[in-house]
Structure 1
Amino acid sequence: MIEFQMCKYNHVPKVCDYDRDKESVTESIHNYFLDIFGSSTNCIWRVNKIEEDFITFVPKLNNVSFCVDLRLDEEFTEMAILETFFFSFPILKSVRLEAALTTELFNPESKFYQAESICVNQFQHTFPNVLRHFQGRQAIVNCTQWGASEDLIEFVNRWKSGEAFQKLEYLYFKSWDGEILENQILNEIEAKYIDSTKQPPTHSVPKIYDWHRVHAEPNTDPIISHTYVVRATDNHVASILIQERTISFGVWNKTEEEFLRLMD
């Protein structure tokens, strides 16, 4: 028998003496829900506010995706332990990361970069290097220190060539210190333009996971732009919107011909 009590803090049921037998209690509750809702149900296990201690309970369950909220302080030096921590999760649905300056980097094949969605607040855009190594579907990056636009140009050109970011649906990048040079980027990526007399279509896709949860919009922020690029391997289109300190990149599941027909 599993006993519950109401948590005074957030008024939800809480398992009594959970720490004494986490594995069997978690498995029992999970199997109970599967019996009720069926194996098609996908559950989410959310791990909040991890700092220097990466020792946490990771259940081995079917039909479960994991979300991790993580903060790395300055001079972080335990990258091997962190990589092992990420490796312990079979599926990472979303990672929210706050990262200060550090001399150690993620492995390019880290499970962090393989998460379906990430939301990162970072000091330098190279840690973590989302613009280079991300393999998931949705990314939001807020960067404090920004020097030049070359990495953004490389990111778009690698997507255009089909070399990388094949799963990408949406990327939002914001620089808090330093302007993103629109003309330079658009020239270097050889952007295409929709006729100024036409209303561009709106790109927006369902969010994979929203860390805010309360009163949150179900879809990514809309991208309405006259500027787009085309991927060489399948002729699919991505809309690009560059403003003073931000770039939004939204991939359409449409070829250029299908995309342009949306405005007919």
Structure 2
Amino acid sequence: MRIRAVTGHPLATALTTILTASILTACSGSEAPRRPGRTASAASSAASPSPGAVPGQDWRRNRACVSGHDMFTTQAAPYRRNAPNKIAEEWFDGSYEGVATIPPFPRDDDALLARTLLPDGWKPDARDGYRSTAASLVLCHTATATGKRRIMTCKFTVMGAPGPRSIPVVPGTHHFEVYESRTGRFVASFELESSEHRPAAPCPDSAYNVSKADVIAQPPSQDALTEKLRPLHEGTR
């Protein structure tokens, strides 16, 4: 069962339970699985300030960014104007990796997601040694389910349990927030609706803490996402 942050209530408080993730692996997909969950001691260590901690903390209100805290470091490449900038991506897959205390989030945007495919050369790759510090921007991606119409079904095999689990793919509103890796400074935000016109593959390769109530948001148009991010990648915004 997934453990969700309590949102939208004046008495909401941060959950203090460290999550132990049950990793589910999809039956299809070519990407490497997400990082495995950490132990309680590692989570506490990860939540502590490090020498490379960035000054800006706005990204902590985003449920996708909060588990990707290691993307924010003063060792990251600086954002450059009128020059190519690489983008690291964090997307919500049910995990709050390395988070000792889950903060309340401003919206119920916890539909599961697959990683979007950024154009070649836009994210850290073999030329950078796949180092996250090569990215000067972090794209944090969450989604809110907006309907119950089943577009398709993604099947996952629960490790250590018999039989696959089926998760429906439904329409959703996708929320994107972009932060500067080196400073944690908020840069831009935009939303895109799910699209059946050239969307990315909807089935994630892995997910965490999945319950029968969970859904996967149908991805937005790949072309629409690329055009929204182009000015940031090119440093013209």
Fold match by TM threshold 0.5:
no
Calculate the TM-score normalised by the size of structure 2: 0.23
Q: Which has the larger radius of gyration?
A: 1
Structure with the bigger percentage of strand:
1
TM value normalised by structure 1: 0.21
User: As a proportion of its length, which structure holds more helix?
Assistant: 1
